[in-house]
Amino acid sequence: MLTANTEQPIYGYLGRALSLELSAVQLYTTQSRLVAAWGLDEAASRFRVEAAEELAHAERIISRMLAVGVAPNASQLRPVKLGQNLRQLLEHDCAFEMELISLYESAVQHCSRAGSQDDRLLFEALLEDEREHGRSLAEWLGQVS
């Protein structure tokens, strides 16, 4: 059942966000296992934390979708990009986070124009979290030789 309070383009943003957040969970979980195999236990732990944070984002999106009467559907998970070393993994991650940031910036702008306050607030919160993830990853990348 669709509600009148949320318009169709917002459903699209929610669906794309869910797909990207679940892709991020897959990415960071895989990277955690890979770097653990390399003996980089601290990096593995950091990637597990990233995966948990992205899963929390996915759960928030699913809750919003259910609240507006939309069945959650992550239409397509992104393939995991791996690398030969930690630096390459972090470079992929920074690019991925920028994609999430771009999606959320666009969603916030759309929701503001459409007057969809609840959706705007959700996307603003996710945007701030992803900006912080991006900053954290960029800082980590700067520390890796």
The pLDDT tens digits for 73-98 are 887 899 998 999 999 999 999 999 99
Q: With contact defined as beta carbons under 8 Å apart, do 111 and 119 qualify? A: yes
Q: Give the tokens for residue 109.
A: 């702008």
Q: What is the pLDDT of residues 23-73, one digit of tens each?
A: 999 999 999 999 999 999 999 999 999 999 999 999 999 999 999 988 898
DSSP 91-139: HHHHHHHHHHHHHHHHHHHHHHHHT-HHHHHHHHHHHHHHHHHHHHHHH
Q: Kindly state which CATH superfamily the domain 8-143 is placed in.
A: Ferritin, core subunit, four-helix bundle (1.20.1260.10)
Q: In degrees, to the nearest 5, what angle opens at C-alpha 112 toward C-alphas 69 and 127? A: 80
Q: Name the pTM for this structure.
A: 0.92
Phi-psi category of residue 3: left, alpha or beta, with phi > 0 → left and psi -120 to 50 → alpha:
beta
